[in-house]
Structure 1
């Protein structure tokens, strides 16, 4: 017998062809069991309010009467994991704000669909274990946040908690803090390989950002203190994934 977990799922889409396509993809996925395929947000809301349940909701965004985004806000607890299905990539930020596990762009390909299901499975709480062994406590001194970097003719200590972002400048890099800019004699690629901090992420061919210093996200422009940094198209999916995990 397989140990692979099975997820019950509900499809909601006002387009019958799109529903049939998703039903086919579900049928190809052994980890999924379809419990309902519904033609709109109103029908889906009725399903859940009448006690219907599922582990995963495959949800169209643009529907008449009640959109997918509106439906998510009305779902009774415990709400299922949500994967949004849309014709527009512009809904990616909305997906993040609603804590959707993933979003799929139509027409949905099976490989991308499988990737989304893998993310849903990975995000599920682990089964309760008996008497978990606590990890040994680490001293705060282990959480190193500073590095020595060469700036001009000097080597200085930089606390990377203060760094908002790092920008490529030809064969150099610029460390940007709220009050200073340091030109470092390393390419952005070389500096990225040396950074020991998980919360620094490459979001553009010319930028690495401190994810912990992001104040706002609008149309893939990141607000970091007095500055704005764009997220490149090829980096957007990885950026949203990391943003959800903060």
Structure 2
């Protein structure tokens, strides 16, 4: 279907048959990668908070014991993964769309409808990604426009210390501010025109011109510390020595 990286998804439903159905649908869909299938919304919340790489989309039942799907949506960290609610009761639709979920599926879910929801989520994420960064005129400029809170903001990337992955978004960190932009770290890495920004971890890109020191695979950038992932150490140290 696509050469794009698949969306990392989690299925959450306390009913095993429903979970198995959604797992089967995920397996049929090239644009999806199943990270976990869970019977409990509390476990899903813990996973979303800790997952690295982050989760892109939740296929989430509404009616579950202890913590409902709607309650889980309200507790998700910001920025949150896209959410597709799955329920037996269409009367939850108003609550669902007030929470700005990506889609709403009524059980029993047919694969064609599931695929349409997946395509909608993918389209939303791609639109956010393509609008996230726009280079300014002038090949020597270190300014880019980044989309922050639905507006384009000019940012001097000389001031950026590092960029951190946050779900389907990224956080640009300077000494004074943090900017959440609507683009994945992978897509941002591909679009950045500056050679001195290097991927050093699956969750971090650093501005090598702002590294103050390196010790025990930890980088000091201003008042922040950023880890160097094991798989990145050798290449990064070669690049650093060559700067």
After TM superposition, the score normalised by the length of structure 2 is 0.51
| Number of equivalences | 133
1:88 alignment partner in structure 2: 89
Match among 129, 154, 170 for residue 126 of structure 1: 129
Q: What CA distance in whole angstroms lies between the structure 2 residues aligned with 1:132 and 1:11?
A: 41
Q: What secondary structure does 2:135 align onto?
A: coil
Superposed CA deviations along residues 35-80 of structure 1, whole A, max 9, x for unmatched, are: 0111111111222233463100000000000000000111112210
Q: What CA distance in whole angstroms lies between the structure 2 residues aligned with 1:29 and 1:64?
A: 29
Deviates more, 1:51-60 or 1:13-22: 51-60
User: Mapping of 1:103-114 within 5 angstroms?
Assistant: 103-114=104-115
Q: What CA distance in whole angstroms lies between the structure 2 residues aligned with 1:106 and 1:2?
A: 28
Superposed CA deviations along residues 18-43 of structure 1, whole A, max 9, x for unmatched, are: 00000000000000000011111111
Q: What CA distance in whole angstroms lies between the structure 2 residues aligned with 1:123 and 1:76?
A: 19
Q: What secondary structure does 1:14 align onto?
A: coil
After TM superposition, give the deviation of residue 86 of structure 1 in Å: 0.3
* Uncovered stretches (5+) of structure 1, i.e. residues with no partner: 134-246
User: Mapping of 1:11-50 within 5 angstroms?
Assistant: 11-50=11-50
2:73 alignment partner in structure 1: 72
Superposed CA deviations along residues 117-172 of structure 1, whole A, max 9, x for unmatched, are: 11101111133565379xxxxxxxxxxxxxxxxxxxxxxxxxxxxxxxxxxxxxxx
Q: What CA distance in whole angstroms lies between the structure 1 residues aligned with 2:67 and 2:30?
A: 31
Q: What secondary structure does 1:83 align onto?
A: strand
Q: What CA distance in whole angstroms lies between the structure 1 residues aligned with 2:13 and 2:81?
A: 16
The answer (yes or no) to whether the contact 2:2–2:31 under 8 Å persists in 1 is no
Q: What CA distance in whole angstroms lies between the structure 1 residues aligned with 2:5 and 2:108?
A: 27
2:8 alignment partner in structure 1: 8
CA RMSD in angstroms comes to 2.0
Q: What secondary structure does 1:126 align onto?
A: helix
Q: What CA distance in whole angstroms lies between the structure 1 residues aligned with 2:111 and 2:67?
A: 27
Runs of 4+ displaced beyond 4 Å: none
* Uncovered stretches (5+) of structure 2, i.e. residues with no partner: 138-243
- Structure whose CA Rg is larger: 1
Q: What secondary structure does 2:36 align onto?
A: strand
Q: What secondary structure does 1:66 align onto?
A: coil
The answer (yes or no) to whether the contact 2:41–2:64 under 8 Å persists in 1 is yes
After TM superposition, give the deviation of residue 5 of structure 1 in Å: 4.4
